Amino acid sequence: MTAPLKVGIAGLGTVGASVVRLLARQRDALEARCGRAINVVAVSARSKGKQRGVDTASYRWFDDPVALASDPAIDVFVELIGGEGDPAKRALEMALSRGKSVITANKALLARHGLDLAALAEKHRVALNFEAAVAGGIPIVKTLREGLVGNSLTRIYGILNGTCNYILTRMEQDGLSFEECLKDAQRLGYAEADPAFDIEGHDTAQKLAILASLAFGTRVDTEAVYVEGIASITPEDLEAAEELGYRIKLLGVAVATGQGIEQRVHPTMVPKGSAIAQVMGVTNAVTIDADAVNEITLMGPGAGGEATASAVVSDIGDVARGVRTAPFGTPASKLQAIGRAPMQRHEGGYYIRLLAVDRPGTAAVIAARLAEQNISLESIMQRHRGPRPQGGDSPKSAAPVPVILITYATTEDAVRRALAAVEEDGVIAQAPQVIRIEKN
């Protein structure tokens, strides 16, 4: 009879406590599916006396997660502490060097030190599993690492941050400002008191860097990701997107190009008929373009105790079954240094919103600057006039006119050059709004 798999868990917050409960609730089913029992035998957290809704009295307690990681009585170390540095990093290194498989939900640690940790796991012939690090309960890591191993991938993109998707959903559905929706997200617990890491796109960038490594066999490199957040998005942009047949989502996109792997995070217009456009609220989704299966989309809860615990327990189950593969799908020594595709060379359609000065010749100047960069327009929309500026009582001081341009495929560099020239000409009243369009 196969001996039980002995698990040590570091971190008993929302996810850690949910993992303990889920393992207990599914104990018999897991044993039947995995061929052996899975037993939590030791835990570590900051405060032993804190009420967590789980009974830890039967587990050995460690104040120091590194000590737990080195405990010879555990087979698997589950790290749910968080943070890109110590003690999480030191604990993972300790567990792997002692020949213990590791399960982690720590995207920040993997984005910073994933290559070294993968090499250490491979050296000691143990698993390093991290399904819960990206997109919560969606099995995207296993899909890329194992399910699509017979495919060549060309693009992966998705909604990887529930906070941003919730804010954009509320702005679209209720016509509220970004600031109003952010406050509501904080009230509901979807956004942190300091939401910058989410709304500026950095959370999505870390997750995208991990997915790009799995998809394209490259080293994880967050520095290669171009990042924009959602704070500049206005109800006017969402209203225009609706009229044009699009929705605005914060996407993480990784694409194989002739210049290398293009990795970018930014607000994006997606066709309303696409699967990714239907994803609302705090839900996450990832779309994969592959040669044998064409396009597939996975969607589900991107956060929350139960959903994330589901991914952690799935990884534990793989260890119990004896499943072990290279953490990033390709052995660490064969992961390629990323060929960084410059954002200036990105090609695609663009939404451009200008607040044009209402005087003769303005449209001609804008058109001329676009033509100089060989930018062709698919459509032009002139919106209602904005409010008259203060002191603007005379006809000569008419309010600027909102103008929306949709371009055919062009380059980032061409758009930026044309708009810089338009600003220098003094024919717009504020900085242009630019949103990239991602086609199916």
Give the residue numbers annotated as catalytic, written as ranges: 207
Residue 21 CA to residue 306 CA, distance in Å, equals 9
Amino acid identity for residue 214 in this structure? L
Question: Does the CA dihedral 108-109-112-115 come out positive or negative?
Answer: negative
Q: Could you give the dihedral angle defined by the CA atoms of residues 366, 370, 376 and 379, in that order, rounded to the nearest 10 degrees?
A: -30
Residue 216 CA to residue 24 CA, distance in Å, equals 37
Q: Which ranges of 154-247 would DSSP assign to H, the alpha helix?
A: 162-174, 178-187, 196-199, 202-216, 235-244
Q: Could you give the dihedral angle defined by the CA atoms of residues 341, 347, 351 and 356, in that order, rounded to the nearest 10 degrees?
A: 90
Amino acid identity for residue 360 in this structure? P
**Secondary structure (DSSP) of 385-429:** --PPPTT--SGGGPPPEEEEEEE-SEEHHHHHHHHHHHHHHT-BS
Angle between helices 412-425 and 362-372 (to 10 degrees): 150
Q: Which pair of structure tokens corresponds to residue 298?
A: 């996975």
Q: Which pair of structure tokens corresponds to residue 85?
A: 């540095």
Amino acid identity for residue 170 in this structure? R
- Nearest Cα neighbor of 147 from 323, 322, 301 is 323
- Nearest Cα neighbor of 134 from 263, 308, 292 is 308
Residue 364 CA to residue 368 CA, distance in Å, equals 6
Q: Which pair of structure tokens corresponds to residue 365?
A: 């100047």
Amino acid identity for residue 395 in this structure? P
Q: Which pair of structure tokens corresponds to residue 344?
A: 């200036």
Q: Which pair of structure tokens corresponds to residue 390?
A: 């203060």
Any idea which residue has 């839900």 for tokens?
Answer: 283
Amino acid identity for residue 122 in this structure? E
3-state secondary structure of 108: helix
Q: Which ranges of 124-193 would DSSP assign to H, the alpha helix?
A: 140-142, 162-174, 178-187
The CA–CA distances, whole Å, from 147 to 30, 141, 142 equal 21, 9, 6
* 348 DSSP β-pair partners: 410
